[in-house]
Amino acid sequence: MGYSSEGGPRIMTKVTNVSWLVTGSMSALSIPGLIFSLRSSHPNLNFTPYLTQSASRIVTMTSMATLSGVTPRNSDWGSEPEATPSHIQIESESDAYLIAPATLDFLARFARYDCSTPFSLALQCTKKPILVAPSLPPGGKDSIAYKSLSMDLLKWENLRLLSPIETKSASSPNASSSGFGSATRLIEFMLENLQGT
């Protein structure tokens, strides 16, 4: 069974290429700098960032490329003809997947077997490691929706879910949201679950 905490058994694999999906949470603002830092401290890891449509309203393609040092990709279907379908290309280029931040909307779509984008289709078909770091709005962690979804995600034996911790809400200063917390906590979760890196 999948394990829904950073304290669970590691996924036994050798990882070089990590496809990193960024969804539309304000904590997405921290990801470009985090990727830049990881590329310096772990040169054996290659990160390919993908932005959802909602994420691109928070972090632009230009800012991601400039601040991370890596050219990002759109997670949606392109309009141009493809010799190799996008979802097959994503899967072939990935040793592991990281979704951070993962919004409640993303979690709901994933748990309901969403295949509406190349990235989501690749996730549904892969047997490679999937690491998920939720970013939830005020009240989200204790909601029926999240509690139900966190149980649903146990169906995926290759998925690890980082337990969200209380953080300050960027949009509601007097309220608490939940997320991966510090950059250090997210990095440790990723590295601990990708043994052999």
Q: Please tell me the pTM assigned to this model.
A: 0.90
Tell me how far CA of residue 154 lies from CA of 7, 62, 138, 172, in angstroms.
14, 36, 24, 31
pLDDT of residue 10: 53
User: Which homologous superfamily is 11-195 in?
Assistant: Flavin prenyltransferase-like (3.40.50.1950)
- pLDDT tens digit at each of 197 positions of the chain: 344 454 455 554 578 999 999 999 999 999 999 999 999 999 999 999 999 999 999 999 999 999 999 999 999 887 776 767 899 999 999 999 999 999 999 999 999 999 999 999 999 999 999 999 999 999 999 999 999 999 999 999 999 999 999 987 766 677 788 999 999 999 999 999 986 54
Find the helix packing angle between 183-193 and 31-41, rounded to 10°: 50
pLDDT of residue 9: 53
Residues 6 or more apart whose CB falls under 8 angstroms from that of 55 comprise 22, 23, 24, 25, 28
pLDDT at site 65: 96
Query: What is the reported pLDDT for 102?
Result: 98
Q: Would you state the pLDDT for residue 167?
A: 84
Question: Residue 140: its pLDDT value, please?
Answer: 94
Per-residue model confidence (pLDDT) at position 194: 85
**Domain residue ranges of the chain, discontinuous segments joined by +:** 11-195
**CA 28 from centre of chain:** 10
Residue with tokens 């007097």: 174
pLDDT at 100: 98
pLDDT of residue 172: 67
